[in-house]
Amino acid sequence: MRGLIRVGGSVGAGRDLRVDFFRGLALWFIFIDHVPGNRLGELTLRNIAFCDATEAFVLLAGYAAGLAYGAALDRRGWPFAAASLLRRAGTLYVAHIFLFVVFAAQVGYSASILDSPAYLDELHLDPFREQPYDALLQALLLRYQPAFLDILPLYIALLVLLVPALPLLRRPPLLLGASALLYAAARLLDLNLPNWLDGGWFFNPFAWQLLFVTGAALGYVPRPRGGPPGPAPAVPLRPGLVLGCVILLLLGAAVMLVAERAPDWLALLPEDVAVLLTTFDKSALHPLRLASILALAYLLGHAVPRGAGWLRSQPAAPFVLMGQHGLPVFCTGIFLSFLGRLALEQSDRGPMQVVVNLGGWAALVAVGLVAAWYRQRDRGEAAPAPAPLSAGLPPVTPSSTTPA
């Protein structure tokens, strides 16, 4: 495994290591948040803001999609870019079905061995026990999504929705306007895709597409045919906007802290205000959740320059690596999160907490290393000179920038 990571590896012109780093961090947060009883979960984004790691993951996925498929659109036209998007959606579909089978087997076997059918009920896998054939068919149709298995279907739907909208990347105001109208329709008219068990998808793709499309519009870099890439889009730094973002994030942190530590204080607020601050739904991406993740992205986007040297440092390397290989890392994190739950149910004391969190993190980094090794082999790249594991990052190229 040595030699796969190097400091100062050549970074392709289209690569934005900020996306890789923060996506890797979001993937680790998702793993942490999926482990009940994990004390480290008290420090993740969901406890200090109106949003959580899912919003960060979707926004960054959209950014990477705009960067990668926007380049394909400009270089080879819409048919090629659309085919690439659909191929990626197909890859995610296969990964989702594989993860569904592995996760159902993992939870079902654990419920049987430990005589704990509550696992099946809590994770919404009891229909798979009672109606296995119907459940499997509905899973193949993406109409049955047990707990933790609803993010990849959302991602697939977002990629498919982006296919007809790709040409509008060249006209951001029109793209964002149409996306905002669809978001409003999803929230006001309860527009959603059907769910086999009840209602619609937990992550309503017609609402979440606004966050994904916003990321795509930010990530798209115009590349006129036969010419060099144009300037990257940028949101100007304005003191008033910075102040508004800071106030919103501080408000979110205060509300989360009060809701966790002193919920009685919320009763002192007017009822309408208290309801607004405590019932921001995740399914249809409440406006407060949307505004919070955009505010956080705005501040970090200006605070962390694209070429920041620390992104190539040894401490950042594992997270960049995880972010560059998001799909296998995400799938592994779902599998490991249930193992972490089983471990903490045996003992939730400090030593086990350390084992679960550091062990899970190390396993996700290891998956990233293996994925990087396979990627190099598939490209026929010559193996670099041996170097210590912590020495830096794998070399990347513009074509390696993918949404997951």
Q: What are the pLDDT digits (tens) for 240-276?
A: 999 999 999 999 898 888 877 777 777 777 767 666 6
Report how far Cα 103 is from the mean position of its chain's Cα atoms. Answer: 19
Residue 214 pLDDT class (50, 70, 90 cuts) = very high
The pLDDT of 292-312, averaged and rounded, is 92
Q: Is the pLDDT of residue 384 over 50?
A: no
Q: Report which of 401, 375, 210, 383 is spatially closest to residue 323, judged by C-alpha positions.
A: 401
Q: Is the pLDDT of residue 303 over 70?
A: yes
Say what the pLDDT of residue 270 is. 75
Q: Give the percent of the chain with pLDDT over 70.
A: 85
Q: Is the pLDDT of residue 161 over 50?
A: yes
- 374 Rama sector, left if φ>0, alpha if ψ -120 to 50, beta otherwise: alpha
d(CA 58, CA 215): 8
Partners of 200 in beta bridges? 194
Q: Give the percent of the chain with pLDDT over 90.
A: 67
d(CA 46, CA 23): 15
Say what the pLDDT of residue 232 is. 61
Residue 110 pLDDT class (50, 70, 90 cuts) = very high
Q: Is the pLDDT of residue 44 over 70?
A: yes
Q: Report which of 96, 217, 105, 78 is spatially closest to residue 157, judged by C-alpha positions.
A: 96
Both tokens of 39, joined, read 């004390």
- Report angle CA 119, 323, 302 to the nearest 5 degrees: 120
Residue 228 pLDDT class (50, 70, 90 cuts) = low
More confident residue, 11 or 151: 151
Both tokens of 202, joined, read 């937990």
More confident residue, 91 or 380: 91
Please give the C-alpha separations between residue 282 and each of 207, 275, 276, 279, in angstroms, as whole numbers.
10, 15, 13, 9
Say what the pLDDT of residue 389 is. 42
d(CA 338, CA 376): 31
Region of poorest pLDDT, from 24-33, 115-124, 384-393: 384-393
3-class DSSP string for the chain: CCCCCECCCCCCCCCCHHHHHHHHHHHHHHHHHCCCCCHHHHHCHHHCCCCCHHHHHHHHHHHHHHHHHHHHHHHHCHHHHHHHHHHHHHHHHHHHHHHHHHHHHHHHHHHHHCCCCHHHHHCCCHHHHHCHHHHHHHHHCCCCCCCCCCHHHHHHHHHHHHHHHHHHHHCHHHHHHHHHHHHHHHHHCCCCCECCCCCECCCCHHHHHHHHHHHHHHHCCCCCCCCCCCCCCCCCCCHHHHHHHHHHHHHHHHHHHHHHHCHHHHHHCCHHHHHHHHCCCCCCCCHHHHHHHHHHHHHHHHHCCCCCHHHHCCCCHHHHHHHHCHHHHHHHHHHHHHHHHHHHHHCCCHHHHHHHHHHHHHHHHHHHHHHHHHHHHHHCCCCCCCCCHHHCECCCCHHHCCCC
More confident residue, 178 or 131: 178
Residue 115 pLDDT class (50, 70, 90 cuts) = confident
Residue 277 pLDDT class (50, 70, 90 cuts) = low
Say what the pLDDT of residue 383 is. 42
Q: Is the pLDDT of residue 283 over 90?
A: yes
Q: Is the pLDDT of residue 6 over 60?
A: no
The residues spanned by each domain of the chain are 17-386
Region of poorest pLDDT, from 11-15, 139-143, 253-257: 11-15
Say what the pLDDT of residue 265 is. 72
- Report angle CA 258, 337, 323 to the nearest 5 degrees: 90
pLDDT tens digits for range 68-109: 999 999 999 999 999 999 999 999 999 999 999 999 999 999
Residue 402 pLDDT class (50, 70, 90 cuts) = low
19, 63 contact by CB (below 8 A): yes
pLDDT tens digits for range 344-369: 999 989 999 999 999 999 999 999 99
Helix axes 78-113, 326-346, angle to 10 degrees: 20
- Tell me how crowded residue 331 is: count the other CB atoms within 10 A of its CB: 18
Helix axes 350-379, 317-324, angle to 10 degrees: 60
Q: Is the pLDDT of residue 215 over 70?
A: yes
